[in-house]
Amino acid sequence: MNLPLFRQHPFWQQRRHFYTAMLWIAIFTAGFVTGHLQSGISAQYGGSDVLPPANADQLFAPFWETYNLIQKDYVEKPDEDVLVNGAIKGMIDALDDQYSGYVEPELFPFVSGSLSGSVEGIGAVVSEIEETGEVEIVNVLEGTPAQEAGILEGDVFVSINGEDVTGMTYLDVVSRVRGPAGSTVDLVLRRGDDLIEISVERALIEIPNIETAVYEDSIGYVKLLQFTGEARTQIDEAIATFDSATLDGLIIDLRGNPGGFLDSAIEVTSLLIENGPVLYEQFGDDTELTFDADGTAIDLDVPVVLLIDERSASASEIVAGAWQDEGVATLIGVTSFGKGTVQKQVELTNGGGIRLTIARWLRPNREWIHGIGVTPDIAVEWTAEEREANPDADPQLEAALEFLLEQREPVQ
């Protein structure tokens, strides 16, 4: 059974909550995503336990006192659904966990989709700025309504359909921006010191999950955007298109990949690892699960480079950590995001949903990368300023090509 890290088992500088935003590319664009994802890692479950705990009478007495007092004496008749939603949200918020959250019933259908490669939205990726709690645009996808409407990276949300977003989480924001294709969302965005009013017609956005190329006639290149259920099959098919007789090296690009399904992460990790553990999961009750390579490693007799950056998160970090520990690939780029937790997603009986952190995961060397990330073997910076100044340059890819060309056997 496929479970989304969210657990198919998606994972959920001025350090932004970038993974969180990228996981919820699912909301604006495709579905962490991520991860978060997930990612993020993510596990999707249904059917939460509706029975009260054994000590419920004493434990929840103050709750029911408050609820009944509001119902009896509050100056205006309360909306019971609002009270219930507020109570659930308060419990989740009390965990103080950026990867756990509650989505109200009317919004849950817009955030509960799988990593399917298409979504109804505007085509923008968002991030929560840790210092201010504001939500900003960090990526605008090519050919999408967001791009056509003139939305830019760095735009900060002020209001959505007339509703002030102050105090909203990234999850609140994205669940309001996404919606049925053909419908319109009215945004007020802050751009520098200016407020920009933009109306965007949502659309069905198809997101290709894999890109391939051949460099220097002999270096294969495969970029994976998300860890969907088909990711390993897509990578295998991409590699099969390369001429094995002339292939001198392979580049797997996980830059900007926010994660996805745990099953998919294990399948992709198993591409280069024949056997043994690829990660461990540790739960709150001190139990531990070991996930081994699935025995589907390919016979690839060329050096491999894995590209990672600060946006590579969760499932991407499972692959990066395991391949680095096993010495089967050389990591080039910058330190990855650092999300070492697993979430599950549960639909509640009221139609709302909860995403809840349930475990931490460790790489094969038993290191927990949370808040630390995976450090590349060869560090190559590529700042946002450099990208903006010269968008056609890619020093990390250039470094990977240079490294692999140096590994070529000399012609006799």
Catalytic residue among 155, 253, 309, 325: 325
CA distance 366 to 351: 38
Residues 6+ apart with CB under 8 A from 213: 221
Alpha carbon 351 to its chain's center:
23
| Residue 100 appears among annotated catalytic residues | no
CA distance 111 to 20: 13
CA distance 331 to 343: 26
Helix (H, G, I), strand (E, B) or coil at 315: helix
Catalytic residue among 127, 253, 270, 339: 339
| Residue 339 appears among annotated catalytic residues | yes
| Residue 325 appears among annotated catalytic residues | yes
**What are the residue ranges of helices labelled H in 163-244?**
170-177, 231-240
Find out whether 266 and 8 touch, Cβ atoms under 8 Å: no
Catalytic residue among 114, 314, 316, 336: 314
Nearest partner of 48 among 96, 102, 8, judged by Cα: 102
Q: Is 153 left (phi over 0), alpha (psi -120 to 50) or beta?
A: beta
CA distance 99 to 170: 11
Find out whether 162 and 177 touch, Cβ atoms under 8 Å: no
CA distance 209 to 223: 8
Q: Which residues are catalytic?
A: 314, 325, 339
